[in-house]
Amino acid sequence: MTTASEATPRSATSKDSTTDNRSGRVLALVLAAQFMALLDIFIVNVAAPTIRSELHASGAGLQLVVAGYTITYAVLLITGARLGDLLGHGRPIWPGSASSPRPRWPADSPREPGS
């Protein structure tokens, strides 16, 4: 005996394909962000000998510079994620994207030899 209150089977394929598509995009975004974070830390480690000679730092001082950079990066990343949760994911991304390369512009500018 069947009743009218029984649910009719829904097509699961449309919802599953939308979820799979969204999950794939989220995974790609997370992997790209993780790659960029590792690349950034790798660049600091490659620059470590220059940092050591320019700042006349010891091995412990160099470790402190790298650790301080990594912790600062992590704190700003977590703060940005929290702002995204509070304000919506679209609003905080543009100021962050616009401001992230600015501290590097002076370092990338060509210098005169001996200056």
Sign of the torsion angle spanned by Cα atoms 60, 61, 66, 68: positive
- What's residue 87's pLDDT? 82
Is the pLDDT score of 36 beyond 80? yes
pLDDT single digits (tens) 62-80: 888 888 888 888 888 888 8
Which tokens sit at 74?
């992590």
pLDDT bucket at 40, cuts 50 / 70 / 90: confident
Rounded (10°) CA dihedral 47, 51, 57, 63: -40
In this prediction, what percent of the chain has a pLDDT beyond 70?
60
